[in-house]
Amino acid sequence: MEKEKLITQILEIELEMFVSVRSRYPVACQEDPEGFRVMRSAQFVAWSEETLQSYLSDLKNAVDDGRNLMTLKYARMENLIPPLHENPQIDNMLNEIVGVQMAWQKEMFAKYPVLMSRGRPLTDTEKQAADTSFKTYLRCELETYSLMTLTHHFRDIMVKRSQEKNMTEEIYVHMVSGLGYSDLEEAEAAAGKSKA
């Protein structure tokens, strides 16, 4: 229950920040708050309570300081501003998180190719038009987190990896459930039919 409350509070602040972002490329999900909630809540369900509490604190601090973390993320994605951290320790943590999550994302592409092809390309070399790659998107989002949130998130990811669990798969299970599918296999089959 506590986790649900944290996620609800996070989504309220994030959505307010998100709809006010003015990026170079229009983002369709800005017109779809319910879709935004489904996608983002799926991510947060896979996080520990400690990470959620820390991230909620980041968001509240940003609001108090007049900063929009979503604007910063998109500005980084479009290379309009320099990196948000210049600490080698943070940089190493970011690289390790991105490495693990890229491996998980690749596993998902191997298991659910049609479903995954509807999302972001993995890397910028696979980039098409204005689509930001998963790798760039992830890196830029991680840069908006405080050191405390990054540390908790890093721990969550390393725990999942040591348990041989794929956090990305957990996220997608929650996401497709929020979209009305019983499981990933059903979502993959539906994606295949709509592509045909």
CB 84 within 8 A of CB 67: no
Spell out the residues 6+ positions from residue 195 whose beta carbon is closer than 8 angstroms to its own: 114
- What angle do helix axes 2-19 and 49-65 make, rounded to 10 degrees? 30
How many domains does one find in the chain? 1
Question: Domain residues for 77?
Answer: 2-195
Tokens at 120, concatenated: 């972001």
pLDDT at residue 21 above 90? no
Q: What is the pTM of this model?
A: 0.90
For residue 194, what pLDDT is reported?
76
For the chain, the average pLDDT equals: 90
For residue 33, what pLDDT is reported?
82
pLDDT digits (tens, 9 = 90+) for 41-79: 999 999 999 999 999 999 999 999 999 999 999 899 888
pLDDT digits (tens, 9 = 90+) for 48-57: 999 999 999 9
Spell out the residues 6+ positions from residue 51 whose beta carbon is closer than 8 angstroms to its own: 149, 152, 153, 155, 156
CA distance 44 to 73: 17
> Which of 51, 33, 11 has its CA nearest to residue 153?
51
For residue 106, what pLDDT is reported?
95
